Chain A
């Protein structure tokens, strides 16, 4: 098969250059190879590279494909990007929004404010076209490389075959200069929903298909719509069974129409037909230009297991959700956050290989939560039977006049990180008076600290957070370094981490999730909790 581009690029970010591996007499062996140069693959390479772990990333293109695609990036994603050092350009470029309006036919049913809690560095969401998100990640990779991070991005390197062994994987790669072969101790599959790697390995990807087509039209227009998320059920302008209007940077608006199942894709994508729908919605006096159009269908599904020996899957390659709730790219970045430190500890021999099974367990838990939420949103937005349609409209009718019905309206439950409740790396909660939101397994909520924020000081390594309780500055347990972080008991930290407790000690994982918490400092308990958190228990 020739190495032709399957799509046009928005940004050429990693042009092909010949690698010395291509001239080696025997296949070069690498600790980690990442397959796929999308947001999840690049973030994985960045996470590992910043830890000093040599990583090779392979992609069959030379950059980011066109099309806005994922446009909503959640606070948790920005917090993770902050740890990687590339959240600021995302925030600077992104559009911040808080207000959402829901319409049924020609009536506003209600409006909601995301009401972001104060005292966090990042907003609840930003809207940003995926190509920008990817570009900022790659720019950070370039900066890290200049500072010595061992990251090697190889564009126009298509993997055509893999041979999975017990302790390594052999990859056959095609390039413009012909084929070559490398091997990897670990292979991370981030090659998207239609993952060629998954297919090469003959692995399952089962779930639910939703029989509906959605038309995306990105347009630029001069009209003065506010920076809000507008969602219509059964809109009066009849451009679809539902419609969404959402603002992106560069004066671009994302418009989404639900078309139904039996459609002629080619016909619907014709400019005059897209414009007919847009004119009905916007009115004929609004001037606009089409930037990008696409028709998509979707499924909610995941692999049975994300880890297959030395091959680990992340992002859409491992799990796929409907777009409602922005749980695709956001959950993929959480995969990376979860995998990076674990792979780091396994590679440097500090943790047993079995720690990576916790990636599998924790992120399947996350995927199931996302699939559940996005399936429920889909069932509300696109009712599958007459009676579900009746109940949906009953909810919308009531929501207009009665507050009780508004929580039942589901046009997407927006992505929040999951809590790893009851999973093996957690130590049972020893701070019963502590707030539920910071229980073991939970991601740490941000809070102001000094001139900055608490999360600036967490992540990347294990941290022992002492709130009104003395903790050692440094502690070394079984070759794992822990950093002590004493903070005063005041303000948002008190509300979010102490609740009714007078003081607390938190053991916080490198991905900023709580591993354990206690009312006092006890080295033996910290020791036991740490052993458990790195899979030694």
Chain B
């Protein structure tokens, strides 16, 4: 299975709002910690090592575009 970079989340605006809501009222440090937990939870759910490697590469590349 390859990394899916096509739109895949139903109701994207709603998801985005939920993501921001999860961070509401948090200090920067607490937000960073929440993001780290979220990454680990999602990474475990995906589980496919090749997909995770692709995702890491895509995320790293996003920074330099």
Contact = CB atoms under 8 A, between A and B. Distances in A.
Interface string A362-393: 00000000000000000000000001001101
Contacts of A393: 33, 36
24 contacts: A387-B32, A387-B36, A390-B32, A390-B36, A391-B36, A391-B39, A391-B40, A393-B36, A394-B33, A394-B36, A394-B37, A394-B39, A394-B40, A395-B40, A397-B33, A397-B37, A398-B37, A398-B40, A398-B41, A402-B41, A404-B41, A404-B44, A405-B40, A405-B44
A405 B39 CA distance: 12
A408 interface: yes
A484 to B, nearest CB: 43
Contacts of A397: 33, 37
A398 B39 CA distance: 11
Contacts of B33: 390, 393-394, 397
A394 B40 CA distance: 8
Interface of A: 387, 390-391, 393-395, 397-398, 402, 404-405, 408
A446 to B, nearest CB: 32
Interface in B16-64: 32-33, 36-37, 39-41, 44
A379 to B, nearest CB: 15
A408 B40 contact: yes
Contacts of A390: 32-33, 36
A404 B42 CA distance: 11
Contacts of B32: 387, 390
B64 to A, nearest CB: 18
Q: For chain B, which range describes its interface: under 10, 10 to 19, 20 to 34, or 35 or more residues?
A: under 10
Interface of B: 32-33, 36-37, 39-41, 44
Most buried by B among A387, A391, A394: A394
A408 B44 CA distance: 11
Contacts of A395: 40
A404 B33 CA distance: 18
A395 to B, nearest CB: 6
Closest 8 CB pairs of A and B: A394-B36, A404-B44, A394-B37, A390-B36, A391-B36, A390-B32, A394-B40, A390-B33
A402 B41 CA distance: 9
A167 B39 CA distance: 59
Given A391-B36, A394-B39, A398-B40, 13 more contacts: A387-B32, A390-B32, A390-B36, A391-B39, A393-B33, A393-B36, A394-B33, A394-B36, A395-B40, A397-B33, A398-B37, A404-B44, A405-B44
A536 to B, nearest CB: 40
A409 to B, nearest CB: 12
A397 B41 CA distance: 12
A408 B40 CA distance: 10
A402 to B, nearest CB: 8
Nearest to B36: A394
Contacts of B36: 387, 390-391, 393-394
B35 to A, nearest CB: 8
A394 B37 CA distance: 5
A196 B42 CA distance: 51
A387 B31 CA distance: 12
Contacts of B40: 391, 394-395, 398, 405, 408
A495 to B, nearest CB: 28
A246 B55 CA distance: 40
Nearest to B44: A404
Contacts of B41: 398, 402, 404
A402 B33 CA distance: 16
A436 B21 CA distance: 49
Nearest to A391: B36
A408 B43 CA distance: 12
Contacts of A405: 40, 44
A398 to B, nearest CB: 6
A405 B45 CA distance: 11
B58 to A, nearest CB: 18
Most buried by B among A387, A390, A397: A390
Contacts of B37: 394, 397-398
Contacts of B44: 404-405
A387 B39 CA distance: 13
